[in-house]
Amino acid sequence: MIRPDGDNLKIAIQSAGRLADASVELLRGAGIDFDSYSRKLFASARGFPLEVLFVRDDDIPEFVEDGVADLGIVGRNLVVERGAALEEELELGFGRCRLVVAAPRGGRIGTVDDLAGHRVATSYPRTLARYLNGRGLDAEIVEIAGAAELTPALDVADAVCDLVSTGTTLRVNDLVEIETVLESEAVLVASREARADGPRSRTIDRLLLRMRGQLAARRTKYVMANCPEDATEAIREILPGLRSPTVVPLADPGWVAVHAALPEEAFWESIEALRAAGASEILVTPVEKVFR
Ligand code: PRT
Ligand code: ZN
């Protein structure tokens, strides 16, 4: 592929598929505005020195490794499979899945050790080979382009190594998971060449700051709770905030409002603890960006 002209940074994202919408949304949320991607190979951003290349996800690790693009948004599964010499800069929190070994329910293969001497169908032959080697297992890898889940029924393989997200595909094909080979999600990758180039690397850092601000915001809520003044200390423990909570007096004597950012994973427990500590009215709002 010909590298589009200009000094702009190039980022390769999936043109259509599971990662496409979330990739565009992440860039837009980072303040990068570009035209609709439906029919174009690439688009120039406004307000940031970036060009967006729309490609098949399988090509992304290679393009970034070869310098066709400086950055890419792609599943870790593909980066690992290629053994690509890239920098993984950021986990993006979407496209989560696992590469697992699975076998027919109630069949001969119940554990990973049972794979020895059997056939395993996969689109991830290198990752599977590394995994089997690591376990000292000798199994035949049957490389297929897709639909691994059908191969045991067709007697093309005895087990499969495939991506799973909800588990429905395995279930409907009467396959059971045996072990996880790799945990994956979409990641931002950068080419080593771009990272070694001062100006381009600085632009990558600017983009990372914006993306991190957005990803952190998704995991954060802003909580405002009214409570009696004498409960302030207890509530401060529950709502430490980013530095410390904001405590402001209410017009009602003896009452204060406590405001703080709260990580999503602690959310429900914190709301329960706030109630128990005497907080009455509690308001929760989403956070747009968090920069620390
Ligand atoms: O056209 P292009 O080559 O760009 O896209 P593609 O069709 O090759 O890829 P796509 O869009 O299907 O997936 C892109 C990326 O999404 C993958 O590389 C993974 O990083 C990630 N991802 C997340 C998944 C899944 N979840 C997933 N469930 N990729 C594939 N699957 C498939 C899996 O292979 C199996 O067939 O979905 C089925 C299982 O899903 P469940 O929900 O039934 O378990
Ligand atoms: Zn693909």
pLDDT digits (tens, 9 = 90+) for 99-113: 999 999 999 999 999
Is the separation of the CB atoms in 229 and 271 below 8 Å? no
- In degrees and rounded to multiples of 5, residue 2 shows phi and psi of -85, 135
pLDDT above 90 for 59: yes
At residue 40, the pLDDT reads 75
Per-residue pLDDT tens over the stretch 221-264: 999 999 999 999 999 899 988 899 999 999 999 999 999 999 98
Write the residue with the smallest CA distance to atom 30 of ligand 1. 163
11 pocket-lining for ligand 1 (C-beta < 6 Å): no
88 pocket-lining for ligand 1 (C-beta < 6 Å): no
Ligand nearest to the CA of 77: 1
Q: Which residue has the tokens 């070869």?
A: 66
At residue 1, the pLDDT reads 41
d(CA 216, CA 34): 23
The percentage of residues in the chain with a pLDDT greater than 70, rounded to a whole number, is: 97
Going by pLDDT thresholds of 50, 70 and 90, the confidence category of residue 38 is low
Going by pLDDT thresholds of 50, 70 and 90, the confidence category of residue 37 is low
Output the DSSP codes for 122-179. Answer: ES-HHHHHHHHHHTT---EEEE-SS-GGGTTTTTS-SEEEEEESSSHHHHHTTEEEEE
